[in-house]
Structure 1
Amino acid sequence: MQLKYQQVEQFLLYQLKNGEFKAGDKFYSEAELKKRFEVSSATVIKAINELVSKGLLVRHQGKGTFVSRARNGQVVKIFDRERNNDADEKVKVLSIDKEHDPRILKELGLATGDSYYHIMRLRQANDIPVQLQHTYLVADYFNLKALDNPSYYDSLYERIRDDSGIDLFSTKIDETTNIIFPVPTAESQLLQLDSAQQPAAFIHRHSYLFDNTVIEYVESYKRWDYFELEVKTI
Protein backbone atom coordinates (compact mmCIF):
# COMPACT_ATOMS: atom_id res chain seq x y z
CA MET A 1 0.00 0.00 0.00
CA GLN A 2 1.40 3.39 -1.01
CA LEU A 3 1.74 6.11 1.60
CA LYS A 4 -0.26 9.29 0.99
CA TYR A 5 2.76 11.35 0.00
CA GLN A 6 3.73 8.65 -2.53
CA GLN A 7 0.28 8.86 -4.12
CA VAL A 8 0.62 12.64 -4.41
CA GLU A 9 4.16 12.28 -5.78
CA GLN A 10 3.04 9.71 -8.35
CA PHE A 11 0.26 11.95 -9.66
CA LEU A 12 2.63 14.93 -9.94
CA LEU A 13 5.23 12.78 -11.70
CA TYR A 14 2.76 11.93 -14.42
CA GLN A 15 1.83 15.56 -14.89
CA LEU A 16 5.51 16.45 -15.25
CA LYS A 17 6.31 13.59 -17.62
CA ASN A 18 3.20 13.99 -19.77
CA GLY A 19 3.73 17.65 -20.61
CA GLU A 20 1.40 19.42 -18.19
CA PHE A 21 4.34 21.71 -17.33
CA LYS A 22 7.27 22.95 -19.38
CA ALA A 23 10.84 23.40 -18.17
CA GLY A 24 11.04 26.60 -16.13
CA ASP A 25 7.29 26.79 -15.38
CA LYS A 26 6.20 27.70 -11.89
CA PHE A 27 4.84 24.62 -10.14
CA TYR A 28 1.92 24.23 -7.75
CA SER A 29 2.16 25.99 -4.41
CA GLU A 30 1.93 23.98 -1.21
CA ALA A 31 -1.47 25.57 -0.51
CA GLU A 32 -2.79 24.47 -3.92
CA LEU A 33 -1.64 20.89 -3.39
CA LYS A 34 -3.07 20.72 0.14
CA LYS A 35 -6.46 21.82 -1.17
CA ARG A 36 -6.36 19.59 -4.25
CA PHE A 37 -5.46 16.38 -2.41
CA GLU A 38 -6.96 17.21 0.98
CA VAL A 39 -3.74 16.34 2.80
CA SER A 40 -1.49 17.94 5.39
CA SER A 41 1.40 20.32 4.76
CA ALA A 42 3.83 17.59 5.83
CA THR A 43 2.49 15.24 3.14
CA VAL A 44 2.77 17.90 0.43
CA ILE A 45 6.30 18.93 1.48
CA LYS A 46 7.43 15.30 1.52
CA ALA A 47 6.08 14.72 -2.02
CA ILE A 48 7.70 17.89 -3.37
CA ASN A 49 11.02 17.12 -1.68
CA GLU A 50 11.05 13.72 -3.39
CA LEU A 51 10.63 15.41 -6.78
CA VAL A 52 13.32 17.94 -5.94
CA SER A 53 15.71 15.12 -5.01
CA LYS A 54 15.02 13.50 -8.40
CA GLY A 55 16.01 16.72 -10.15
CA LEU A 56 12.53 17.36 -11.54
CA LEU A 57 11.75 20.43 -9.44
CA VAL A 58 13.82 23.27 -8.00
CA ARG A 59 12.96 25.62 -5.17
CA HIS A 60 13.84 29.33 -5.11
CA GLN A 61 13.62 31.04 -1.75
CA GLY A 62 10.82 33.58 -1.68
CA LYS A 63 9.69 32.77 -5.23
CA GLY A 64 8.28 29.24 -5.12
CA THR A 65 8.82 25.88 -6.78
CA PHE A 66 9.68 25.56 -10.48
CA VAL A 67 10.06 22.80 -13.04
CA SER A 68 13.73 22.03 -13.55
CA ARG A 69 15.22 23.20 -16.86
CA ALA A 70 17.67 20.28 -16.73
CA ARG A 71 15.14 17.47 -16.83
CA ASN A 72 15.03 15.11 -19.80
CA GLY A 73 11.99 13.46 -21.40
CA GLN A 74 11.43 10.56 -23.69
CA VAL A 75 8.40 9.34 -25.62
CA VAL A 76 7.97 5.68 -26.45
CA LYS A 77 5.18 4.26 -28.63
CA ILE A 78 4.52 0.56 -29.08
CA PHE A 79 1.77 -0.69 -31.36
CA ASP A 80 0.60 -3.62 -33.44
CA ARG A 81 -0.15 -3.30 -37.11
CA GLU A 82 -3.46 -4.98 -37.77
CA ARG A 83 -4.32 -6.63 -41.06
CA ASN A 84 -7.91 -5.41 -40.96
CA ASN A 85 -7.94 -1.78 -39.89
CA ASP A 86 -11.63 -1.36 -40.75
CA ALA A 87 -12.85 -4.07 -38.40
CA ASP A 88 -15.70 -3.40 -36.01
CA GLU A 89 -13.97 -3.91 -32.67
CA LYS A 90 -15.27 -4.49 -29.17
CA VAL A 91 -13.80 -5.63 -25.87
CA LYS A 92 -15.57 -7.68 -23.24
CA VAL A 93 -14.47 -8.26 -19.65
CA LEU A 94 -14.84 -11.98 -19.01
CA SER A 95 -13.91 -12.04 -15.33
CA ILE A 96 -12.39 -10.08 -12.47
CA ASP A 97 -10.85 -11.87 -9.48
CA LYS A 98 -8.78 -10.87 -6.48
CA GLU A 99 -5.84 -13.26 -6.35
CA HIS A 100 -2.48 -13.90 -4.69
CA ASP A 101 -0.68 -16.42 -6.94
CA PRO A 102 3.02 -16.42 -5.91
CA ARG A 103 4.12 -16.41 -9.57
CA ILE A 104 2.18 -13.23 -10.34
CA LEU A 105 3.13 -11.59 -7.03
CA LYS A 106 6.76 -12.03 -8.07
CA GLU A 107 6.10 -10.46 -11.49
CA LEU A 108 4.45 -7.49 -9.76
CA GLY A 109 7.18 -7.16 -7.14
CA LEU A 110 4.68 -7.72 -4.34
CA ALA A 111 5.22 -9.55 -1.07
CA THR A 112 3.78 -12.87 0.01
CA GLY A 113 0.36 -12.16 1.48
CA ASP A 114 -0.34 -9.25 -0.87
CA SER A 115 -3.11 -9.42 -3.45
CA TYR A 116 -3.76 -8.08 -6.94
CA TYR A 117 -6.71 -8.04 -9.33
CA HIS A 118 -6.82 -10.35 -12.33
CA ILE A 119 -8.86 -8.84 -15.18
CA MET A 120 -9.47 -11.15 -18.15
CA ARG A 121 -10.68 -9.45 -21.33
CA LEU A 122 -11.50 -10.69 -24.82
CA ARG A 123 -11.08 -8.45 -27.84
CA GLN A 124 -13.13 -9.15 -30.95
CA ALA A 125 -12.94 -7.83 -34.52
CA ASN A 126 -16.05 -8.31 -36.64
CA ASP A 127 -17.21 -10.75 -33.94
CA ILE A 128 -14.06 -12.87 -34.30
CA PRO A 129 -12.03 -13.26 -31.08
CA VAL A 130 -8.52 -12.00 -31.83
CA GLN A 131 -6.90 -11.30 -28.46
CA LEU A 132 -7.25 -12.68 -24.96
CA GLN A 133 -5.62 -10.56 -22.30
CA HIS A 134 -4.86 -11.39 -18.68
CA THR A 135 -4.10 -8.15 -16.82
CA TYR A 136 -2.76 -8.43 -13.27
CA LEU A 137 -3.23 -5.00 -11.69
CA VAL A 138 -1.74 -3.80 -8.40
CA ALA A 139 -4.66 -3.44 -5.99
CA ASP A 140 -3.92 0.22 -5.19
CA TYR A 141 -4.98 1.16 -8.72
CA PHE A 142 -8.10 -1.01 -8.98
CA ASN A 143 -11.51 0.63 -8.73
CA LEU A 144 -13.79 -1.53 -6.61
CA LYS A 145 -16.89 -0.44 -8.52
CA ALA A 146 -15.74 -2.81 -11.30
CA LEU A 147 -16.62 -5.77 -9.07
CA ASP A 148 -20.30 -4.90 -9.50
CA ASN A 149 -19.91 -3.69 -13.09
CA PRO A 150 -17.08 -5.57 -14.88
CA SER A 151 -17.69 -3.61 -18.10
CA TYR A 152 -16.20 -0.64 -16.23
CA TYR A 153 -12.85 -1.98 -17.46
CA ASP A 154 -13.80 -2.55 -21.09
CA SER A 155 -11.38 0.29 -21.77
CA LEU A 156 -8.84 -0.46 -19.05
CA TYR A 157 -6.17 2.18 -19.65
CA GLU A 158 -8.70 4.99 -20.04
CA ARG A 159 -10.28 4.05 -16.73
CA ILE A 160 -6.92 3.96 -14.95
CA ARG A 161 -6.09 7.37 -16.42
CA ASP A 162 -9.43 8.80 -15.27
CA ASP A 163 -9.18 7.25 -11.80
CA SER A 164 -5.49 7.77 -11.03
CA GLY A 165 -4.15 10.30 -13.54
CA ILE A 166 -1.73 7.64 -14.80
CA ASP A 167 -1.38 7.25 -18.57
CA LEU A 168 -0.29 3.68 -19.18
CA PHE A 169 -0.17 4.37 -22.91
CA SER A 170 3.06 6.30 -22.36
CA THR A 171 4.71 4.69 -19.32
CA LYS A 172 7.95 2.73 -19.37
CA ILE A 173 7.43 -0.94 -20.22
CA ASP A 174 9.28 -4.11 -21.04
CA GLU A 175 7.58 -6.48 -23.45
CA THR A 176 8.45 -9.81 -25.03
CA THR A 177 6.62 -11.57 -27.87
CA ASN A 178 6.96 -15.29 -28.55
CA ILE A 179 5.21 -17.77 -30.80
CA ILE A 180 3.49 -20.30 -28.58
CA PHE A 181 2.56 -23.82 -29.63
CA PRO A 182 0.44 -25.49 -28.56
CA VAL A 183 -1.80 -22.77 -27.13
CA PRO A 184 -3.23 -23.60 -23.68
CA THR A 185 -6.62 -25.24 -23.99
CA ALA A 186 -8.69 -22.51 -22.29
CA GLU A 187 -7.11 -19.74 -24.34
CA SER A 188 -7.39 -21.74 -27.56
CA GLN A 189 -11.10 -22.26 -27.00
CA LEU A 190 -11.77 -18.60 -26.20
CA LEU A 191 -9.88 -17.51 -29.31
CA GLN A 192 -11.77 -20.11 -31.35
CA LEU A 193 -8.62 -21.39 -32.98
CA ASP A 194 -9.27 -23.77 -35.85
CA SER A 195 -7.18 -26.59 -34.47
CA ALA A 196 -4.74 -27.58 -31.78
CA GLN A 197 -2.00 -27.13 -34.39
CA GLN A 198 -2.60 -23.40 -34.84
CA PRO A 199 -0.01 -21.20 -33.05
CA ALA A 200 -0.60 -17.84 -31.41
CA ALA A 201 1.48 -14.86 -30.38
CA PHE A 202 2.15 -14.79 -26.64
CA ILE A 203 3.08 -11.39 -25.19
CA HIS A 204 4.05 -10.69 -21.62
CA ARG A 205 4.56 -7.12 -20.47
CA HIS A 206 5.36 -5.13 -17.33
CA SER A 207 4.28 -1.49 -17.07
CA TYR A 208 6.21 0.71 -14.66
CA LEU A 209 5.49 3.79 -12.61
CA PHE A 210 8.08 6.54 -12.62
CA ASP A 211 9.67 5.18 -9.45
CA ASN A 212 10.25 1.90 -11.38
CA THR A 213 7.68 -0.07 -9.41
CA VAL A 214 5.38 -2.32 -11.45
CA ILE A 215 1.73 -1.26 -11.76
CA GLU A 216 0.60 -4.11 -14.03
CA TYR A 217 1.78 -7.39 -15.48
CA VAL A 218 0.02 -8.58 -18.64
CA GLU A 219 -0.08 -11.90 -20.48
CA SER A 220 -1.80 -11.77 -23.87
CA TYR A 221 -2.61 -14.37 -26.52
CA LYS A 222 -3.20 -13.09 -30.06
CA ARG A 223 -4.34 -14.86 -33.17
CA TRP A 224 -1.22 -14.80 -35.33
CA ASP A 225 -3.30 -14.64 -38.53
CA TYR A 226 -4.73 -11.26 -37.51
CA PHE A 227 -1.70 -9.25 -36.37
CA GLU A 228 1.57 -8.11 -37.85
CA LEU A 229 4.34 -6.76 -35.66
CA GLU A 230 5.83 -3.46 -36.79
CA VAL A 231 8.79 -1.86 -35.01
CA LYS A 232 9.93 1.71 -35.64
CA THR A 233 12.31 4.09 -33.95
CA ILE A 234 10.88 7.58 -33.47
Structure 2
Amino acid sequence: MQLKYQQVEQFLLYQLKNGDFKEGDKFYSEAELKKRFDVSSATVIKAINELVSKGLLVRQQGKGTFVSRARRGKLVKFFDLEKDNDADETVTVLSIKREHDPRILKELNLASINSYFHIIRLRCSNNTPVQLHHTYLVSEYFNQVALKEPSYYESIYEKIRQDSGIDLFSTPSDETTGILFPAPQQVKTLLQLQSEQQPIAYIRRHSYLFDDKAIEYVESYKRWDYFKIQIKTV
Protein backbone atom coordinates (compact mmCIF):
# COMPACT_ATOMS: atom_id res chain seq x y z
CA MET A 1 0.00 0.00 0.00
CA GLN A 2 1.32 3.42 -0.93
CA LEU A 3 1.84 6.06 1.72
CA LYS A 4 -0.17 9.28 1.45
CA TYR A 5 2.74 11.32 0.15
CA GLN A 6 3.40 8.67 -2.52
CA GLN A 7 -0.22 8.85 -3.66
CA VAL A 8 0.03 12.64 -3.96
CA GLU A 9 3.37 12.34 -5.73
CA GLN A 10 2.03 9.82 -8.25
CA PHE A 11 -0.95 12.00 -9.12
CA LEU A 12 1.24 15.07 -9.59
CA LEU A 13 3.74 13.05 -11.60
CA TYR A 14 0.91 11.95 -13.89
CA GLN A 15 -0.13 15.58 -14.44
CA LEU A 16 3.43 16.63 -15.21
CA LYS A 17 4.01 13.82 -17.68
CA ASN A 18 0.55 14.22 -19.20
CA GLY A 19 1.31 17.80 -20.19
CA ASP A 20 -1.10 19.50 -17.79
CA PHE A 21 1.72 21.90 -16.98
CA LYS A 22 4.25 23.40 -19.38
CA GLU A 23 7.91 23.96 -18.58
CA GLY A 24 8.28 27.12 -16.53
CA ASP A 25 4.65 27.12 -15.33
CA LYS A 26 3.99 27.95 -11.70
CA PHE A 27 2.97 24.83 -9.79
CA TYR A 28 0.38 24.30 -7.08
CA SER A 29 0.74 26.09 -3.76
CA GLU A 30 0.87 24.15 -0.50
CA ALA A 31 -2.62 25.40 0.43
CA GLU A 32 -4.05 24.18 -2.90
CA LEU A 33 -2.54 20.72 -2.48
CA LYS A 34 -3.62 20.39 1.15
CA LYS A 35 -7.20 21.25 0.20
CA ARG A 36 -7.23 19.12 -2.94
CA PHE A 37 -5.94 15.96 -1.27
CA ASP A 38 -7.11 16.64 2.29
CA VAL A 39 -3.67 15.90 3.73
CA SER A 40 -1.21 17.57 6.11
CA SER A 41 1.53 20.04 5.26
CA ALA A 42 4.15 17.37 6.01
CA THR A 43 2.59 15.05 3.40
CA VAL A 44 2.51 17.78 0.78
CA ILE A 45 6.10 18.82 1.50
CA LYS A 46 7.34 15.24 1.20
CA ALA A 47 5.57 14.73 -2.16
CA ILE A 48 6.92 17.98 -3.59
CA ASN A 49 10.43 17.26 -2.35
CA GLU A 50 10.39 13.94 -4.19
CA LEU A 51 9.51 15.72 -7.45
CA VAL A 52 12.16 18.38 -6.83
CA SER A 53 14.78 15.67 -6.26
CA LYS A 54 13.78 14.10 -9.60
CA GLY A 55 14.42 17.40 -11.36
CA LEU A 56 10.78 17.91 -12.34
CA LEU A 57 10.14 20.93 -10.14
CA VAL A 58 12.29 23.81 -8.94
CA ARG A 59 11.82 26.22 -6.05
CA GLN A 60 12.40 29.94 -6.26
CA GLN A 61 12.63 31.64 -2.90
CA GLY A 62 9.87 34.18 -2.41
CA LYS A 63 8.11 33.18 -5.64
CA GLY A 64 7.00 29.58 -5.29
CA THR A 65 7.45 26.26 -7.08
CA PHE A 66 7.73 25.96 -10.85
CA VAL A 67 7.88 23.21 -13.46
CA SER A 68 11.51 22.72 -14.43
CA ARG A 69 12.63 24.11 -17.77
CA ALA A 70 15.49 21.65 -17.85
CA ARG A 71 14.09 18.28 -16.90
CA ARG A 72 17.46 16.63 -16.76
CA GLY A 73 20.56 17.99 -15.13
CA LYS A 74 23.62 17.03 -13.19
CA LEU A 75 23.14 16.73 -9.45
CA VAL A 76 25.86 17.20 -6.88
CA LYS A 77 26.20 16.02 -3.32
CA PHE A 78 28.05 17.88 -0.58
CA PHE A 79 29.85 15.95 2.12
CA ASP A 80 30.91 17.52 5.40
CA LEU A 81 34.00 15.43 6.12
CA GLU A 82 34.90 14.80 9.72
CA LYS A 83 38.45 14.67 11.03
CA ASP A 84 37.77 11.39 12.82
CA ASN A 85 34.74 9.33 11.78
CA ASP A 86 35.16 7.02 14.78
CA ALA A 87 35.22 9.82 17.33
CA ASP A 88 33.01 9.81 20.38
CA GLU A 89 30.62 12.71 19.77
CA THR A 90 28.46 14.55 22.28
CA VAL A 91 26.10 17.51 21.97
CA THR A 92 25.33 19.75 24.93
CA VAL A 93 22.48 22.26 24.99
CA LEU A 94 23.94 25.36 26.63
CA SER A 95 20.82 27.53 26.71
CA ILE A 96 17.31 28.03 25.35
CA LYS A 97 15.60 31.43 25.32
CA ARG A 98 12.58 33.07 23.71
CA GLU A 99 13.78 36.15 21.82
CA HIS A 100 12.64 38.75 19.28
CA ASP A 101 15.84 40.28 17.91
CA PRO A 102 14.91 42.26 14.75
CA ARG A 103 17.93 40.86 12.87
CA ILE A 104 16.84 37.26 13.43
CA LEU A 105 13.16 38.04 12.81
CA LYS A 106 14.23 39.34 9.41
CA GLU A 107 16.18 36.13 8.68
CA LEU A 108 13.05 34.12 9.56
CA ASN A 109 10.80 36.52 7.64
CA LEU A 110 8.70 37.14 10.76
CA ALA A 111 6.88 40.32 11.79
CA SER A 112 8.21 42.45 14.63
CA ILE A 113 5.42 41.25 16.94
CA ASN A 114 6.63 37.65 16.64
CA SER A 115 9.25 35.79 18.62
CA TYR A 116 11.37 32.67 18.17
CA PHE A 117 13.40 30.30 20.34
CA HIS A 118 17.18 30.62 20.42
CA ILE A 119 18.88 27.28 21.10
CA ILE A 120 22.65 27.22 21.68
CA ARG A 121 24.41 23.86 21.44
CA LEU A 122 28.04 22.77 21.61
CA ARG A 123 29.24 19.68 19.72
CA CYS A 124 32.35 17.90 20.95
CA SER A 125 34.47 15.20 19.35
CA ASN A 126 36.49 13.09 21.78
CA ASN A 127 35.92 15.83 24.37
CA THR A 128 37.26 18.53 22.04
CA PRO A 129 34.76 21.34 21.30
CA VAL A 130 34.33 21.30 17.52
CA GLN A 131 31.24 23.29 16.58
CA LEU A 132 29.00 25.89 18.19
CA HIS A 133 25.41 26.05 16.90
CA HIS A 134 22.99 28.94 17.30
CA THR A 135 19.59 27.68 16.11
CA TYR A 136 16.70 30.14 15.82
CA LEU A 137 13.52 28.09 15.65
CA VAL A 138 10.07 29.43 14.73
CA SER A 139 7.95 29.31 17.89
CA GLU A 140 5.12 27.17 16.52
CA TYR A 141 7.54 24.26 16.02
CA PHE A 142 9.14 24.54 19.46
CA ASN A 143 8.25 21.99 22.14
CA GLN A 144 7.80 23.66 25.53
CA VAL A 145 9.15 20.53 27.23
CA ALA A 146 12.63 21.76 26.35
CA LEU A 147 12.31 24.77 28.67
CA LYS A 148 12.44 22.38 31.63
CA GLU A 149 14.61 19.76 29.93
CA PRO A 150 17.08 21.54 27.60
CA SER A 151 18.68 18.21 26.66
CA TYR A 152 15.46 17.48 24.75
CA TYR A 153 16.98 19.39 21.84
CA GLU A 154 20.37 17.70 21.71
CA SER A 155 19.14 16.51 18.30
CA ILE A 156 16.83 19.25 17.03
CA TYR A 157 15.94 17.65 13.70
CA GLU A 158 15.00 14.35 15.28
CA LYS A 159 12.70 16.08 17.75
CA ILE A 160 11.03 18.20 15.06
CA ARG A 161 10.40 15.07 13.02
CA GLN A 162 9.00 13.36 16.11
CA ASP A 163 6.82 16.32 17.16
CA SER A 164 5.69 17.73 13.80
CA GLY A 165 6.31 15.00 11.23
CA ILE A 166 8.62 17.34 9.29
CA ASP A 167 11.92 15.95 8.05
CA LEU A 168 14.32 18.90 7.97
CA PHE A 169 17.01 16.64 6.54
CA SER A 170 15.14 16.70 3.21
CA THR A 171 13.31 20.04 3.18
CA PRO A 172 14.65 22.91 1.01
CA SER A 173 17.47 24.93 2.48
CA ASP A 174 20.17 27.41 1.56
CA GLU A 175 23.59 27.52 3.14
CA THR A 176 26.58 29.83 2.91
CA THR A 177 30.01 29.25 4.42
CA GLY A 178 32.74 31.77 5.05
CA ILE A 179 35.85 32.18 7.16
CA LEU A 180 35.94 34.42 10.22
CA PHE A 181 39.18 35.89 11.51
CA PRO A 182 39.58 36.62 14.28
CA ALA A 183 36.91 34.55 16.00
CA PRO A 184 34.40 36.35 18.25
CA GLN A 185 35.51 36.13 21.87
CA GLN A 186 32.58 33.97 23.02
CA VAL A 187 33.18 31.52 20.17
CA LYS A 188 36.90 31.45 20.85
CA THR A 189 36.25 30.62 24.50
CA LEU A 190 33.66 27.89 23.92
CA LEU A 191 35.70 26.24 21.15
CA GLN A 192 38.83 26.50 23.30
CA LEU A 193 40.92 28.12 20.59
CA GLN A 194 44.43 28.55 21.91
CA SER A 195 45.68 31.19 19.51
CA GLU A 196 44.45 34.52 18.16
CA GLN A 197 45.70 33.36 14.78
CA GLN A 198 43.15 30.55 14.42
CA PRO A 199 40.32 31.26 11.95
CA ILE A 200 36.94 29.51 12.11
CA ALA A 201 34.36 28.43 9.56
CA TYR A 202 31.16 30.47 9.81
CA ILE A 203 28.10 28.71 8.39
CA ARG A 204 24.66 30.27 7.87
CA ARG A 205 21.65 28.13 6.93
CA HIS A 206 17.92 28.66 6.41
CA SER A 207 15.52 25.72 6.25
CA TYR A 208 12.17 26.15 4.54
CA LEU A 209 8.81 24.51 4.40
CA PHE A 210 6.75 24.49 1.24
CA ASP A 211 6.02 27.96 -0.23
CA ASP A 212 9.35 29.17 1.19
CA LYS A 213 8.13 29.55 4.76
CA ALA A 214 11.20 29.53 7.02
CA ILE A 215 11.17 27.15 9.96
CA GLU A 216 14.70 27.78 11.23
CA TYR A 217 17.76 29.94 10.79
CA VAL A 218 21.13 28.63 12.00
CA GLU A 219 24.48 30.28 12.57
CA SER A 220 27.27 27.88 13.44
CA TYR A 221 30.98 28.19 14.06
CA LYS A 222 33.37 25.33 13.40
CA ARG A 223 37.05 24.92 14.22
CA TRP A 224 39.19 25.33 11.11
CA ASP A 225 41.08 22.09 11.79
CA TYR A 226 37.81 20.12 11.70
CA PHE A 227 36.37 21.79 8.60
CA LYS A 228 36.48 20.09 5.20
CA ILE A 229 33.88 19.93 2.40
CA GLN A 230 33.84 17.45 -0.49
CA ILE A 231 31.64 17.84 -3.60
CA LYS A 232 30.72 14.93 -5.87
CA THR A 233 28.56 14.74 -8.98
CA VAL A 234 25.92 11.96 -9.00
Q: TM over 0.5: same fold?
A: yes
Q: Name the aligned partner's letter for residue 97 of structure 1.
A: K
Counterpart in 2 of 1:64? none
Q: What code does the residue aligned with 1:85 have?
A: N
In 1, Cα distance between equivalents of 2:225 and 2:30: 49
One-letter code of the match for 2:52? G
Counterpart of 1:134? 134
Normalising by structure 1, what TM-score? Answer: 0.72
Q: CA deviation at 1:48?
A: 8.9
Local SS of the residue matching 1:189 = helix
| Cα offset, 1:24, TM superposition | 4.4
Q: How far apart are residue 216 of structure 1 and its match?
A: 0.3
> Cα distance, 1:233 vs. partner?
3.2
Q: Distance in 2 between matches of 1:22 and 1:82?
A: 35
The answer to whether the 8 A contact 1:146-1:152 is kept is: yes
Q: Could you tell me which residue of structure 1 aligns to residue 24 of structure 2?
A: none
Structure 2 counterpart of 1:116: 116
Superposition pairs of residues 10-29 of structure 1, within 5 angstroms: 16=5, 23-24=10-11
CA spacing shift, 1:196–1:134, aligned 2, 3 Å? same
Contact kept in structure 1, 2:96 and 2:147, CA below 8 Å: yes
1:73 match? 52
**Separation in 2, partners of 1:98, 1:52:** 31
1:157 aligns with 2:144: no
Structure of greater relative contact order (alpha carbons < 8 Å, 6+ residues apart) = 2
- Displacement of 1:172 in angstroms is 0.5
Structure 1's 198 and 213: CA in aligned 2 closer, same or farther, altered over 3 A?
same
Deviations 1:114-157 (A, max 9, x none): 10000000000000000000000000000000000000000110
1:70-110 per-position Cα deviation (integer Å, ceiling 9, x unaligned): x8331786441112111000100000000000000000000
Cα deviation digits, residues 33-61 of structure 1 (max 9, x gap): xxxxxxxxxxxxxx9962078xx859xxx
Other-structure match for 1:61: none
In the TM superposition, what whole-angstrom CA distance separates every residue of 1:7-35 from its partner, at most 9, and x where no partner exists? xxxxxxxx63xx5865149xxxxxxxxxx
- CA distance 1:200–1:212, shift in 2 (3 Å): same
Aligned residue number for residue 26 of structure 2: none
The change in CA–CA distance for 1:81 and 1:90 in structure 2 (over 3 A counts) is: same
What is the aligned partner in structure 2 of residue 212 from structure 1?
A: 212
Identity, in percent, stands at 59
Q: Does 1:51 align with 2:43?
A: no
Match of 1:182 in 2: 182
Please tell me the root mean square deviation across aligned C-alpha atoms, in Å: 2.6
The answer to whether structure 1 residue 194 and structure 2 residue 194 are counterparts is: yes
Cα pair 1:77 1:170 within 8 Å, conserved: no
